[in-house]
Amino acid sequence: MHGLRHAYAQRRYAELTGRQAPVAGGPSRKELSPADRKDDDRARLQIAQELGHGRMAIVAVYCGS
């Protein structure tokens, strides 16, 4: 069941940012431009809320950092 949460978070990240999640081969946050980091933050917050978490940091477990 937990694997489904990982798959969902990674799929949503790709949908919201247009990039693969870092854990799935996409660029890390360090590699992103400032504008792309803002998109990354918004996507992570959205995913955290959808997963029932109040913290963006939890998304790093599912999507990478």
From first to last of its 65 residues, what are the pLDDT tens digits of the chain? 568 999 999 999 999 999 999 999 999 999 999 999 999 999 999 999 999 987 888 899 999 99
For residue 18, what pLDDT is reported? 97
d(CA 63, CA 6): 7
Judging by beta carbons within 10 Å of its beta carbon (0-12, 13-18, 19+), is residue 23 exposed, middle or buried?
Answer: middle
Indicate if the alpha-carbon torsion angle 46, 48, 53, 57 is positive or negative.
negative
For residue 1, what pLDDT is reported? 56
Range of the domain at 44: 2-63
Q: Measured between alpha carbons, how far apart are the two ends of the chain, in Å? A: 22
Q: What domain count does the chain have?
A: 1
